[in-house]
Structure 1
Amino acid sequence: MSQLNLAVVVGSLRKESFNRQFAEALVKLLPADVKPHFIRIDDLPLYNQDSDGAPPVPAVKRLRDEVAAAHGVLFVTPEYNRSIPGVLKNAIDQASRPWGQSKWAGKPAAVCGMSVGAIGTSMAQAHLRNVLAYLDMPLLGQPEMYFQWKEGVIVNGAIGPASHDLAQKFMTAVVAWVRRHQA
C-alpha cells in the first residue's frame, strides 16, 4: 500500500488545548504507512470574499496547498457555545474559496473531539458534519467518537488504557475510510 498523507486540523488555538493533546495522542495509533500532518490555522486572516480575486496571502496559500496535498482529513474539534470554534470555520472557509476552487472537495474526512462536558463535542461535531457535507467531503459515519476530558484519557501523551480500544477502532476506521476514497 502507498503512504497516506492525513491532514489533522485541530479547532483550538489554546496552548494547553485538550483537543491538541487528544490529536497528538490519536496520531500515535496510526500505522507506519500513514503520515499525519498537522495543519496550522492560527495565522490565517479572517475570510473576506473581497479577497477571492487576489492572490492569497502566504498563510492562506500554505493552507490550501496542504489541504490539496492530503489524501484525507481528520478534524479534531472542541465545542464552543454548542458549535465549532470560529477559527476552525475560518480555516474551512479559507480553503473552500474562491467559489468552485475548494481544496476540501472530495477529501474523505473524519470528525472527533474532546470537551470537559458530559456530552463531549456532540453538537460541534453535528455542525461540522453539516458544513463538511456541503463541501462534498465523504464523511466517516461510524464509529463516532465523543470524548469527555477527564483524568486517565491521555496518559503520558498517549491514549489511556480505558479509552485505547475505542480510539484504536476509530483510527483504524479513519485509515480504511481514506484508503477507500483514495483517487
Structure 2
Amino acid sequence: MTKHRIAFINGSLRKDSFHGRLGLAITAAATDRLAITALQIDDLPLYNQDVDGDAAPPSYRRFRKALQASDGVLFGSPEYNRSMSGAMKNAIDVGSRPYGQSSFARKPAAVFSGSPGMTGGFGSNHALRQSCVFVDMPVMPQPEAYWGLLNDDKLAADGSVNDEMLAKFVAGFAKAFADWIDLIVAGRASLALDPTQQG
C-alpha cells in the first residue's frame, strides 16, 4: 500500500494549540498510510505580488517547494471572527501564487477545525473549504470535522487522545482522508490509461 506524503498546515500560531495537537493525533492514527509533515507558516511575510517570481523571499520558496513535493494537504484552522485565521489565509495566498503556478492545484485536501466552544470552528472550516475549492483542490466531503469542547483532559500537548469518542472520530477521519487520496489518485491513473475518457 502506498504511503502518501501529506503537508499539514496549522492555522494557529499558538504554542501547544489544539490544532497542532489534533494534527499530531491524526498523524498517529494514520501512520501506516500517511506520512504527515507540519509546514512552517509563521515566517511567511504577508503576500505581496511585487515579490513573485525571482524576487520571492526564501520562506516563500521553501513553503511552495514543500507543497509541490506533497501528495495532499491537511488543513487545520481555528475560527477567528467566523473565518479562518490570518496566518492560514496568508499561507493559502502565498502557496497559490504566482498566478497560474499554484502549488496547491489538484492536490487532495482535508479540513478540520476545533475549539473549546460548542461549534468547533464551523465558520473557519467552511471559509477554508471555499478557498480550497477555488485553488483547485479536491476537498474530502465527508466526514466533516468540527471538534468542539476541546480541553487539556481530552487532548494532551503530545497529541494523545484521552476521550473515547474523540479518539474514534480522529481515527475515522484519518482513514477517510487516506481513502480519499487513494480514490483521487486511482481516478487520475484511470484517466491517464484511457484517453477516451479525457475531456
TM range (shorter): over 0.9
Tell me, yes or no, if the aligned pair for 2:112 and 2:144 is still in contact at 8 Å: yes
CA distance in 2, matches of 1:44, 1:6: 20
Offset of 1:16 from its aligned partner? 2.4
Structure-2-length-normalised TM-score: 0.87
SS in structure 1 of the partner of residue 36 of structure 2: strand
Structure-1-length-normalised TM-score: 0.94
Stretches of structure 2 that go unaligned for 5 or more consecutive residues are 189-199
SS in structure 1 of the partner of residue 24 of structure 2: helix
Deviations 1:105-140 (A, max 9, x none): 100000001112210111001100011000010010
Bigger Rg, which one = 2
Offset of 1:53 from its aligned partner? 3.8
CA distance in 2, matches of 1:55, 1:3: 35
CA distance in 1, matches of 2:131, 2:39: 18
Q: Name the counterpart of 2:96.
A: 96
RMSD: 1.4
Stretches of structure 1 that go unaligned for 5 or more consecutive residues are none
CA distance in 2, matches of 1:105, 1:88: 17
Offset of 1:151 from its aligned partner? 4.8
Q: Name the counterpart of 1:123.
A: 123
Deviations 1:66-95 (A, max 9, x none): 100110111011111111011111011001
CA distance in 2, matches of 1:19, 1:4: 21
Offset of 1:56 from its aligned partner? 1.8
* 1:62–1:37 distance in 2 versus 1, CA, 3 Å: same
Q: Name the counterpart of 1:159.
A: 161
Q: Name the counterpart of 2:180.
A: 177
Q: Name the counterpart of 2:141.
A: 141
Q: Name the counterpart of 1:30.
A: 30
Tell me which stretches of 4 or more aligned residues in structure 1 moved more than 6 Å: none
Identity %: 38
Aligned length: 183
CA distance in 1, matches of 2:6, 2:175: 13
Tell me, yes or no, if the aligned pair for 1:7 and 1:67 is still in contact at 8 Å: yes
Q: Name the counterpart of 1:6.
A: 6
Offset of 1:32 from its aligned partner? 2.1
